């Protein structure tokens, strides 16, 4: 077979060729043909592994420690090699948002100016996603990330056992000093649910979920069971639902060995949970109380975001709202009385309408549809890990923020990462054969 020429190697790695000719990838290696050094790959792996953890610590404005470290590492990798390859649908999704913003800024004049820092940060974060995903080695990332996931989960379980045994409240563990604004928002105060190094159980769960997805793909039963038990102890409804969806998805895979493995993980988790519950009967009370108190029918994130989109005019459905979300809520409260609770607490409406349907509310139907198609594409055509991550991203977008924040960089960098040449656990690339 003809050997690849050095010139071809310098031009970058063709994912479609690698999918058709695995021996080519094995001989050359993704790390070589893409121009990515081992040091660069290691830096990206470490940065992405701690990204959500660092994103909790604000520096100024929209910037936080995660953003700053991520941008610095991304620019460093680009300085070494300017070759970038990413999903065109992802680029089209991001570009559609800025096109809509340009149209609205021309029509309203001050809309883009008022949010220029946020959208400038969006450009940098999108650059991070492209740089990280085009150079990330999933296996190397998992070796570092798995350690952090296990440490974080053991800390949460220890906190949960202590709180169940003593009845005391515990504050999240701070690794860095916090700003006055963060203290005023009450992000690091004592709470009734364990969250370890994170400000809330939901953020801890978001950090852990890709670890569960990778552990299931790599058939590491003990790791998957420990991480799922950590989510159960934290009481995160978000984490419990998505972890359950991951297990269900892996149990229904076409390959019997994958389904059997996922079933084994479920049995292991249930056994450990029952064993712990018999020793500490109050251990899972926060999880049970949170699940029972979640009203899906009136939750603006889960059930009524589509209703907000429905009540928008045709022009607003195409281009997004021409006023702030809070202003739209006040104008249309008589049509949607369930919004009164959110207006009474004077919360930022965009916080509750910023998932997938929030894209339609703020930016119109085009970005929302492109986001949906992007996630579905990886669910249908991606690797086993990308399929799991697509489930995480889709369910996350129904209940939490997803655009131009820490979740955006963390999830999309993993979702878009090329996996053809450095994964031997049944992980296929998006352009690979089934």
Q: Annotate 27-63 with DSSP letters as a single string.
A: HH-HHHHTT--HHHHHHHHHHHHTHHHHTTSEEETTE
Is residue 298 assigned to a domain?
A: no
- For the cut 60, the answer to whether the pLDDT of residue 43 exceeds it is yes
Per-residue model confidence (pLDDT) at position 396 = 93
In whole angstroms, what is the distance from residue 235 CA to residue 282 CA? 12
Confidence of residue 319 (pLDDT cuts 50, 70, 90): confident
Alpha-carbon distance of 239 to 220, in angstroms, equals 19
Domain hosting 239: range is: 140-293
H or E segment to which residue 387 belongs: helix 384-397
Structural domain count, the chain: 1
Taking residues 196-220, report their average pLDDT: 93
Q: Tell me how many helices (H) and strands (E) the chain has.
A: 26, 2
3-state secondary structure of 332: coil
Asked whether the beta carbons of 218 and 225 are under 8 A apart, the reply is no
Report if residue 25 sits inside a domain. Answer: no
Between the alpha carbon of residue 33 and those of residues 12, 79, 134, the distances in Å are 6, 17, 12
pLDDT given at position 387:
93
Distance, CA of 84 to CA of 101 (rounded, Å): 25
Query: Is 145 within a domain?
Result: yes
Instruction: Compute the distance between CA of residue 344 and CA of residue 38 in angstroms, rounded to an integer.
Output: 53
405 domain-assigned = no
What are the tens digits of pLDDT across the range 277-303? 545 555 566 666 665 555 555 555 554
Query: CB under 8 Å to 123, separation ≥6 — which residues?
Result: none
Q: Is there a domain that residue 347 lies in? A: no
> Is pLDDT above 50 for 11?
no
375 contacts 392 by C-beta, under 8 angstroms: no
Greatest Cα pair distance, the chain, in angstroms, is 71
Dist. CA 14–CA 166, nearest whole Å: 58
Least Cα distance to 233 among 274, 275, 171, 286 occurs for: 286
Token pair 């207006």 is found at 343
Q: Is the pLDDT of residue 15 over 50?
A: no
Rounded Cα gap, residues 120 and 110, in angstroms: 15
Tens digit of each residue's pLDDT (9 = 90 or more) over 375-389: 999 999 999 899 999
Question: What does the alpha-carbon distance between residue 97 and residue 99 come to, in Å, rounded to a whole number?
Answer: 5
Q: Rounded distance, CA 109 to CA 364, Å?
A: 18
DSSP structure string for 156-213: HHHHHHHHHHH---BPPPPSS---HHHHHTTTTS-BSS--TTSSSHHHHHHHHHHHHH
> What confidence category does residue 32 fall into, taking pLDDT thresholds of 50, 70 and 90?
very low
pLDDT of residue 111: 53
pLDDT at 107: 76
CA-based nearest residue to 86, from 426, 428, 415, 432: 415
Structure tokens at 211: 């670890």
Cα 119 from chain centroid (whole Å): 19
In a 3-state reduction of DSSP, which class is residue 254? coil
Kindly state the percentage of the chain with pLDDT values over 90.
34
CA Rg value for the chain:
22
pLDDT reported for residue 131:
92
> Which whole number is the average pLDDT over 91-108?
88
244 within some domain:
yes
Residue 36 has pLDDT above 50, yes or no: yes
- The rounded Cα 258 to chain-centroid distance in angstroms is 24
The pLDDT of residue 46 is 95
In a domain, 201, yes or no: yes
Residue 35 has pLDDT above 50, yes or no: no
**Would you place residue 1 in the very low, low, confident or very high pLDDT band (cuts 50, 70, 90)?**
very low
Which of 20-34, 93-107, 289-303 has the largest mean confidence?
93-107
Bridge partner list, 60: 63
pTM for this structure? 0.81
Tokens of 129: 């996603």
| pLDDT above 50: residue 7 | no
Range with the poorest average pLDDT among 76-85, 127-136, 269-278:
269-278
Among 217, 310, 317, smallest CA distance to 265 is for: 217
pLDDT for the residue numbered 342: 56
Answer whether residue 259 is part of any domain.
Answer: yes
Lowest mean pLDDT among 66-75, 113-122, 296-305, 308-317: 296-305
φ, ψ at 191 (rounded to 5°): -140, 170
41, 81, 109 from 11: Cα distances, Å: 19, 11, 42
Length of the chain equals: 434
């Amino acid at each position: 077979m003809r050997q690849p020429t050095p010139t071809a190697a310098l031009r970058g790695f063709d994912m479609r060729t690698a999918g058709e000719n695995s021996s080519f990838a094995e001989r050359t290696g993704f790390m070589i043909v893409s121009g990515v050094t081992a040091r660069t790959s290691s830096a990206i792996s470490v940065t992405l592994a701690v990204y959500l953890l660092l994103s909790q610590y604000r520096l100024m404005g929209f910037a936080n420690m995660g953003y700053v470290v991520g941008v610095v590492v991304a620019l460093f990798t680009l300085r070494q090699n300017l070759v970038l390859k990413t999903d065109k649908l992802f680029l089209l999704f991001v570009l559609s948002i800025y096109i809509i913003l340009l149209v609205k800024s021309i029509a309203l004049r001050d809309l883009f100016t008022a949010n220029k820092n946020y959208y400038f940060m969006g450009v940098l974060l999108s650059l991070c996603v492209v740089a990280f995903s085009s150079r990330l080695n999933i296996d190397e990332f998992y070796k570092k990330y798995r350690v952090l996931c296990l440490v974080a989960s053991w800390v949460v379980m220890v906190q949960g056992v202590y709180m169940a045994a003593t009845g005391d409240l515990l504050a999240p563990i701070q690794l860095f000093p916090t700003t006055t604004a963060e203290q005023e928002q009450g992000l690091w105060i004592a709470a009734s649910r364990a969250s370890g190094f994170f400000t809330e159980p939901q953020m801890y769960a978001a950090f852990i979920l890709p670890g569960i997805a990778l552990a299931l793909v790599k058939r590491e039963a003990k790791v998957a069971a420990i991480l799922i038990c950590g989510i159960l102890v934290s009481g995160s409804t978000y984490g419990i639902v998505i972890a359950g969806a991951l297990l269900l998805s892996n149990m229904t895979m076409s390959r019997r060995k994958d389904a059997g493995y996922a079933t084994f993980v479920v049995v292991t988790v249930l056994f450990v949970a029952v064993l712990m519950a018999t020793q500490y009967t109050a251990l899972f009370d926060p999880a049970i109380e949170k699940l029972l108190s979640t009203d899906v029918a009136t939750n603006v994130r889960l059930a009524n975001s589509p209703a907000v989109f429905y009540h928008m005019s045709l022009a607003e459905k195409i281009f997004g709202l021409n006023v702030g979300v809070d202003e739209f809520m006040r104008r249309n409260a008589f049509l949607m009385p369930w919004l009164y609770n959110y207006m009474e607490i004077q919360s930022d409406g965009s916080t509750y309408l910023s998932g997938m349907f929030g894209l339609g509310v703020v930016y119109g139907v085009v970005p929302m549809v492109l986001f949906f198609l992007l996630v579905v594409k990886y669910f249908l055509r991606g690797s086993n890990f990308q399929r799991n991550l697509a489930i995480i991203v889709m369910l996350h977008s129904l209940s939490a923020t997803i655009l131009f924040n820490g979740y955006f960089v963390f999830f999309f960098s993993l979702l878009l990462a090329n996996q053809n040449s450095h994964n031997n656990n049944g992980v296929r690339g998006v352009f690979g054969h089934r």
